[in-house]
Structure 1
Amino acid sequence: MRKACELVGGFLLFQGLIGIVHELIGWFRLMAMIRLLPFLDGYELYTSIGLAVVGFLVVAVAEESGKSPSGPLIPDADRARPE
């Protein structure tokens, strides 16, 4: 599940960055899929920025969910109980 989230997040981040570059510079015309959606006409830059942010957040959450929980490690936890 984590790999799938990283893949989807990476794709969203990539599309967002490509859309930003396309709107500002004009490059990557064929790779920017945002421009193909007619209902976003005039809002391509804002949509690309939002897509890049959402993609970054998905990747960050996927990375964080794969880590072990933080907290103090208690060696010999059986001895820590009062008797």
Structure 2
Amino acid sequence: MKQLLELIGFLALVQGGAGLLHELTDWHVGLVQRVDFLDGYEVYASVALIVLAFALFAAAESRRSG
């Protein structure tokens, strides 16, 4: 379970960073800009993904290794 939380956290961190990178440099990377209902809220969604990633990392750390 710990590894699953870390994997999901890593994916959320990468997608959040890619969304911010897209907004700042106009590179076409990440999935956030491809979701239609987030149109106009891409920066907020990217920041939310990064915050979610850190929450998942914290949850993974609180789990036992076994």
The two structures have a TM-score, normalised by structure 1, of 0.71
Root-mean-square deviation (CA), in Å? 1.3
| Higher RCO, Cα 8 Å, sep 6+ | 2
Unpaired runs of 5+ residues, structure 1, are 68-83
The structure richer in helix per residue is 2
The two structures have a TM-score, normalised by structure 2, of 0.87
Structure 1 segments, 4+ long, off by >6 Å, are: none
Counterpart CA distance in 1 for 2:51 and 2:6 is 14
CA offsets per residue over residues 26-51 of structure 1, 9 Å max, x none?
A: 12x1x310111111100001100001
Unpaired runs of 5+ residues, structure 2, are none
Greater Rg by CA: 1
Identity of aligned residues (%): 40
Counterpart CA distance in 1 for 2:52 and 2:25 is 22
Counterpart CA distance in 2 for 1:9 and 1:66 is 17
